[in-house]
Amino acid sequence: MTLKTQQHGGARTGAGRKVNSGKFKEDTKVMRIPSSLVDRVKSTLELYKSQLKADVRVQIPAYDASSVLLPIFTSRVQAGFPSPADDHLEDTLDLNKHLIQHQEATFFVRAQGDSMLGAGIHQGDILIVDKALVAKSGRIVIAVIDGEFTVKRLHKYKGVITLKAENPEFKDILIKEGSELIIWGVVTSVIHQYL
Amino acid sequence: MAKFALVDCNNFYASCERVFEPKLEHKAIVVLSNNDGCIIARSNEAKAFGIKMGEPYFKVKELLNDKSIVVKSSNYPLYGDMSSRVMKIISQYSPVQEVYSIDESFIDLSGFSMNLNSYMQTLKQQVKTWTGIPVCVGLGSTKLRAKLANHIAKIYPRFDGVFDIDKLSEHRFEKLLHSLEVKELWGIGKKSADRLNRVNINTALDFYQADIGIIETLLGVNGKRLYRELYGHSCLQIEQISPPRRQIVSSRSFGSELSDYQDVNQALSTLARQAVIKMKRQSLATTSVSVFIQTNPFSRYSSCISLSKTIGMSVPVSDESILIPLVSKTLEKMYESGYQFYKGGVMLSNLTPDKSQQDLFTQESKTSKFYSQHPYGNLIQYASELGNNKWRSKADFISDRYTTNWNELLSI
């Protein structure tokens, strides 16, 4: 009955390539790319294609990433039991991520002396110092007084700046007018190794 | 309109030293080349004493002492790490960045609608607080103009480290060009400057006002590009991926003058390995190996000699088990005894991508297979690389590798 209406020309249903049967298995788009980036985009696509073929989950690494932690591929193995942990796959624990907020501004420093024992800083500990953080009152800081380094707790009160030691055997340092104080960085953690 | 910024660290090596030794702030500092040979960086204070770039250390030793100028051996692990921190911060300010050298970076700001001057002030501040390194920023509609702008930002403190050259009136711009010699323009080397000087183009302004045809005849298409860049037509693009190297040189002044063939052989074998490592890192292969050694040109006591030899190969080679013995053999052929050699090196040129289109008659050597497959293969050295290490460089004034070695952290 109605089948006869399309005898001359026009689209024939079911003809042509199947939807999503191309190399990317999904819709594609035409796009302009700066020629300097063509190679980079091409290589990313090649990687993507090869992974699609291998039927693994695709993770495109950031360009120039120093390291890429790949999650374990979701298993598609037919034989055997599926891992019961598969649905609970999470990131690995990365101490760097946990302890370092501003990578480019973070420096490690070795502690000398016991003036900060009360704050849990022992001789030989490694301090993680972030230069990007603001030196608020109460924070432990690396300070430079007249060209010399020191680690102390910073106190600001009514315009008076004091660097406090956390050990009764050490005196606080009152910043007098005329002496130069530079806050080099803020201590965010201390690494105390037992072994 | 296109817009570029050139971010350049102020006295980068000296600034790196100051971050970890704050008492050096406001003091005159010089940094010596590998082997403490000559001066390769100076703080502003040292420049003010008239210390020149490239001056041999022994020549200015007394002056440095008299003026109590701080002397440092170069600490490349430290400078490299600080540089990559600075570059990463800069990269947050534009999607398009070119790291031009260890202490300079171009970024593309075309189409950015904010106040670029304050945007770049923020960048400058962030680099300073995060890393301790002071930078200056030049803004311009072309890379050449951004470079010029940076020059001004450095000289005049009143611009507070950021200067946009496109805001300059034509009259002031010409005045600025008049104050510069043509060889000070970015991209004009000594040879080009000589050619220009011969037709009385001496200042940058002469260059700017010359006929473009003359520039093209004298300097070719590159000169024409610079000329157009100066007028604000952007011809030089940001190069995000560094072009592959055309040659790799590994050379050194020796720690002491070497008169023994074995010592020289050890030095050159080790330098050959360094060159091969650099080449392999870029997946390149070479068809031309040059070896050179020379005596100290400043020495008053012994006669001067400079020896070199180049070997060509029929197929590109990247294998150290071929190249290191080749360097040794070449040295053996050209070596003349009776001289005190003080400098030497190995150059690999004619570099091509290492596709190892092997010639029919060579096979991958067993040793090289062993190198690449055995877990400790990279620890294996040639006998020629071993010896008394007399050639190893001096670094008498080196600071600690604060950021790259657990044993050398800053102690507070």
User: Which of the pair, B393 or B88, is modelled with greater confidence?
Assistant: B88
- The answer to whether the CB atoms of A144 and B241 lie below 8 A apart is no
What is the pLDDT, as a whole number, of residue B87?
A: 96
- The domain B4-9+79-230 belongs to what CATH superfamily? Reverse transcriptase/Diguanylate cyclase domain (3.30.70.270)
Domain limits, chain B: 4-9+79-230, 12-75, 247-385
Domain B12-75 falls under CATH 2.40.10.120: no
pLDDT in tens, B279-306: 888 888 898 899 999 888 776 666 788 8
What is the pLDDT, as a whole number, of residue B370?
A: 61
Find the CB nearest A151 among B85, B132, B412. B412
CA–CA separation, A139 and A121 (whole Å): 14
Ranges A12-26, B90-104, B239-253, most confident:
B90-104
What fold is seen in the domain B247-385? Dna Ligase; domain 1 (3.30.1490)
What is the pLDDT, as a whole number, of residue A42?
A: 83
Residue B247 has pLDDT above 90, yes or no: no
List Cβ<8 Å contacts ≥24 apart for A134-143: A134/A186, A135/A183, A135/A186, A139/A186, A139/A187, A140/A116, A140/A186, A140/A187, A141/A183, A141/A184, A141/A185, A141/A186, A141/A187, A142/A109, A142/A183, A142/A184, A142/A185, A142/A186, A142/A187, A142/B412, A143/A181, A143/A182, A143/A183, A143/A184
Residue B216 has pLDDT above 50, yes or no: yes
Residues of B in contact with A127 (CB under 8 A): 412
Query: CA of B291, closest CA in chain A: separation in Å?
Result: 35
Q: Once rounded to an integer, what is the mean pLDDT over residues B377-406?
A: 77
Which run of H or E residues covers position B331?
A: helix B320-334
Contact of B230 with B210, CB cutoff 8 Å: no
The catalytic site residues of A sit at 115, 152
Q: Once rounded to an integer, what is the mean pLDDT over residues B238-263?
A: 80
What is the pLDDT, as a whole number, of residue A71?
A: 43
Find the CB nearest A105 among B23, B25, B131. B131
In chain B, which residues touch A (CB < 8 A)?
22-23, 25, 85-86, 88-89, 129-132, 237-241, 402-403, 406, 409-412
Where does the pLDDT of residue B339 fall: very low under 50, low under 70, confident under 90, or very high at 90 and above?
Answer: confident
Q: What is the mean pLDDT of chain B?
A: 88
Q: What percent of chain B has pLDDT over 90?
A: 57
Residues of B in contact with A148 (CB under 8 A): 22-23
pLDDT < 50 stretches in chain A: 1, 56-77
- The answer to whether the CB atoms of A132 and B402 lie below 8 A apart is no
Identify the structural domains of chain A with CATH numbers, from first to last. Answer: 18-92 (no CATH), 103-191 (2.10.109.10)
What is the pLDDT, as a whole number, of residue B379?
A: 62
